[in-house]
Amino acid sequence: DLGGYPHYMAKEIQEQPESVERIIRGRLDDRFGVARLDGLNLTPRELRGFARVKILGCGSAYYVGQIGATMIEELARIPSDAEAASEFRYRNPIIEADTLYIAVSQSGETIDTAFAVEEIKRKGGRVVGLVNVVGSTIARACEGGVYLHAGPEIAVASTKALTNMAVGFALIALALGRVRDLSNADGQRIIDAVRALPGQIKAILDFEPEIAEHAKTVAAAKSLFFVGRVRGYPVAREGAQKFKEISYRHAEAYQTSELKHGPLALIDESLPTVAVVPSDELTERNLAAVQQIKARGGAVLAVTHADVDFGELEVPRIIVPKTEPELDPILLTIPLQLLAYHAALTLGYDIDKPRNLAKSVTVE
């Protein structure tokens, strides 16, 4: 049931304030500044014992996994990374007993992710799931997990499930952090920020008409860059992925820091860049890169915070509300969903069922 929306993707984007409420409901413990994740089936002692975190997923779930890895490193200071499950399962991965493996999947049926889970279990690793569909193959195969409670997602391009994955990682990072060096006060700081997310998402969605105008401009280009650095890089990757999936435009994600080491040669009037420029310790570096792109005639659209001062640079901006720096990627991703949606709408493509793609790839 489309409930009055023109597409499922539009509906699912708009549902995000409520779907985020659902993943956090009953899971925030204000007294101890921690997340309560009983479904993980891990004792505090077990949580404390992990020396590493490895996140596995495919497509957008893999990119959100990268967002999650950064959150876990920042809040829990545990070395963490994300890898495409489709690669992991084929490369005879080293499975370590003191690594926490996290499988991320909306459907819970993606065959590459399911195989990665089996490989981890076969070799004695500990794997938990961050899954939307209750009782799905991956959810059942994992030894515990956190359900996303995003509700059914119909559009092939994932939106509300991804946002809940990112929020789920914030909760896991909190749980891992609070059995280590994260203080009760810092835990509470994150809890307060998590609680504010639904209202902030709503505020971003209110800017849809402006974002739709930006989408018309970027849809005119044959090819574009999405750039970000550190926390912003997986945001750029997911933004480019969404753009490719439904607008069939070549969209390439790059670390902003790497532009000068090669791809800057491609920049001219025909190649616009969507730049993720949060207000944080890297703002000045990001602005310097924007300046370099502009100096070569490239157009820039910035996804940024209100207090970032672009000075003389004439850059159209999508302003996102500020949260705690560790959680910024959750909100920075939302306007990129709307940008891809409206670009595809302008170009007249089938938004909910893009060509050549399935909602979940369940066969080899």
| Contacts (Cβ under 8 Å, ≥6 apart) of 152 | none
Interaction between residue 113 and ligand BG6 (CB under 6 A): yes
Asked if 357 touches ligand BG6 (CB under 6 A), the answer is yes
User: Contacting ligand BG6 (CB under 6 A), which of 16, 19, 107, 304?
Assistant: 107
Q: How far does Cα 333 stand from its chain's mean position?
A: 6
Active-site option among 121, 202, 294, 359:
359
Contact pattern from residue 157 through residue 176 relative to ligand BG6, giving x for each residue in contact according to CB under 6 A and a dash for the rest:
xx------------------
Site string for ligand BG6, 27-66 (x = CB under 6 A): -------------------------------xxxx-----
Query: Cβ of residue 265: shortest distance to ligand BG6, in angstroms?
Result: 31
- Shortest distance in whole angstroms from residue 351 CB to ligand BG6: 13
Count of all residues that appear for the chain in the document: 364
The site for ligand BG6, by CB under 6 A, has a size of: 15
Smallest separation, CB 263 to ligand BG6 (Å): 25
- Regarding 106 and contact with ligand BG6 (CB under 6 A), the answer is yes
Burial of 266 (0-12, 13-18, 19+ CB in 10 A): middle
360 is an interface residue for ligand BG6 by CB under 6 A? yes
Give the residue with the Cβ less far from ligand BG6, 238 or 328: 238
Using an 8 Å Cβ cutoff, are 215 and 346 in contact? yes
Let me know the angle formed at the C-alpha of 102 by 70 and 238, rounded to the nearest 5 degrees: 50
User: Which CB sits closer to ligand BG6, 52 or 353?
Assistant: 353
Strand segments (E) across the chain: 28-29, 34-35, 52-57, 80-84, 99-105, 126-131, 145-147, 223-228, 250-255, 273-277, 300-304, 317-319
State how far the Cα of 49 lies from the Cα of 269, in Å rounded to an integer: 52
Regarding 105 and contact with ligand BG6 (CB under 6 A), the answer is yes
What is d(CA 84, CA 71) in angstroms, rounded to the nearest whole number?
A: 18
The letter for the amino acid at 341 is Y
Tell me how far, at minimum, the Cβ of 342 lies from ligand BG6, in Å.
18
Asked whether the beta carbons of 351 and 7 are under 8 A apart, the reply is: yes
The minimum distance between CB 64 and ligand BG6, in angstroms, equals 9
Task: Please answer whether residues 55 and 68 qualify as being in contact, where contact means their C-beta atoms are separated by less than 8 angstroms.
Answer: yes
Q: Which is it for the CA torsion 35, 71, 166, 209, positive or negative?
A: positive
Quick check: is 359 catalytic? yes
Closest CB to ligand BG6 among 97 and 357?
A: 357
Q: How far is the CB of 159 from ligand BG6 (least distance, A)?
A: 10
For the annotated catalytic residues, the residue numbers are 359
Q: Which residues bind ligand BG6 (CB under 6 A)?
A: 58-61, 105-107, 110, 113, 156-158, 357, 360-361
